[in-house]
Amino acid sequence: MKIPFNKPYCQGKELEYIKSAMDFGHISGNGIFTQKVHAFFEQRYGYKRTFMTTSCTDAFEMAVMLMDLQPGDEVIMPSFTFVSTTNPFILKGARIVFADTLPNHPNIDLDEAEKLITMKTRVLVVMHYGGVAVDMDKAVALAKKYNLVLIEDVAHAIDSYYKGKPLGSFGHFAAFSFHETKNISCGEGGLLIINDEKYIARAEIVWEKGTNRSAFSRGEVSKYEWVDVGSSFVPSEIIAAVLCAQINMIDEIQQQRILLWERYFTNLAPLAKKGYIALDDLPDYATNNGHLFYFLMKDQQSRNLLLQYLNDHAVHAVFHYLPLHKSPYYADKHDGRMLPNTQKYTDTLIRLPMFFELTPDAVDFICGIVGQFFEEKQAGYFS
């Protein structure tokens, strides 16, 4: 049987919680499970205010509505990220200016990003790749210096830290994803984090389709009305119930994923030492949250060969990301700059299976296949 790349984990209480939501007779949004999700993230990580959404993409759309982005405004972000980081800004007619990654890590190169700032730049988006922190002292200083809205894409970065402070607490906005490929999941779901007080009152309205329903639920107004723009960002209590079951397990889930990550790292270190593969170092200021495990090959050809070899030997491994600045949708809108580090990661990166129920034995097996590849191919492909 093939080892899958990902397997969504059900911890066992999901159905019980869904049943409770049904028994309460409240399965639309913003009931007790949604409020439990908000309380969990605000208390555990100190985020100022959180709003559960139907996806991380939606959370960014909500942020974009709140910051009143105008057509022609420029948004700087990495090209090496998922399309969800970009789309919400495009909907508002913003121009995306893609920055390269660092030479030694897939996170955005902030020195390069600074050179891209113009009078029209309104927003800086950083994405903590694999849950490994971007240098947030630098990002926050840039945002201050040029008066930019700072957004953290924390889709990979639950329960990860920069100099001891939780990721998601630095930006004016940040957004989690609870898609089934993420550490904690409810199938599809997201969370908008707002750390800047000035957006919060309006966020309640935008979240609830432009109505003051939240104030109405608290008894602050006698009827609820259409008071602003908004959209349908609130997920059902059934979704929130599933997420509640998952967050009860967060410590076990993180612990297990980090254990698997470290086992991969230890097993593959000898191959890195021989120069067959490269393993990026974790910066001193960052933690590892076991979101994904990757390594780099020398070039695209050898990467593709090893991917094929793994898949032929019952291991589902994958690559990512295809760079957004070269995508069919954006290529002719991009300003033509080459992003060589982004290209390097696109061409040479391999992600190995990583999920809660993966066993240490399976990790050993997978690493054995990688080792076997080099034994068999040693003769020709690598210097």
Ligand X SMILES: *Cc1c(COP(=O)(O)O)cnc(C)c1O
For ligand X, the binding residues (CB under 6 A) are 55-57, 81-82, 84-85, 127, 153, 155-156, 177, 179, 190
Cβ closer to ligand X: 18 or 52? 52
Residue 218 φ/ψ, nearest 5 degrees: -85, 0
Min. distance of Cβ 55 from ligand X in angstroms? 3
Cβ closer to ligand X: 84 or 341? 84
Cβ closer to ligand X: 212 or 342? 342
Cβ closer to ligand X: 127 or 369? 127
Min. distance of Cβ 111 from ligand X in angstroms? 22
Min. distance of Cβ 177 from ligand X in angstroms? 3
Min. distance of Cβ 141 from ligand X in angstroms? 23
Provide the angle, in degrees to the nearest 10, between the axes of the packed helices 340-348 and 300-312: 30
Nearest-angstrom CA–CA distance, 318 and 307: 7
Min. distance of Cβ 298 from ligand X in angstroms? 26
Cβ closer to ligand X: 83 or 215? 83
Nearest-angstrom CA–CA distance, 42 and 44: 6
Q: Is 170 helix (H, G, I), strand (E, B) or coil?
A: coil
| Helices and strands (H, E) in the chain, number of each type | 13, 11
Min. distance of Cβ 302 from ligand X in angstroms? 26
Nearest-angstrom CA–CA distance, 325 and 194: 28
Cβ closer to ligand X: 127 or 148? 127
Provide the angle, in degrees to the nearest 10, between the axes of the packed helices 56-66 and 200-207: 120
Structure tokens of 145? 């210096």
Q: Is 130 helix (H, G, I), strand (E, B) or coil?
A: helix
- The 3-class SS string of 269-337 reads HHHHHCCCCECCCCCCCECCCCCCEEEECCCHHHHHHHHHHHHHCCECCECCCCCHHHCCCCCCCCCCC
Cβ closer to ligand X: 193 or 369? 193
Residue 120 φ/ψ, nearest 5 degrees: -90, -5
Min. distance of Cβ 91 from ligand X in angstroms? 14
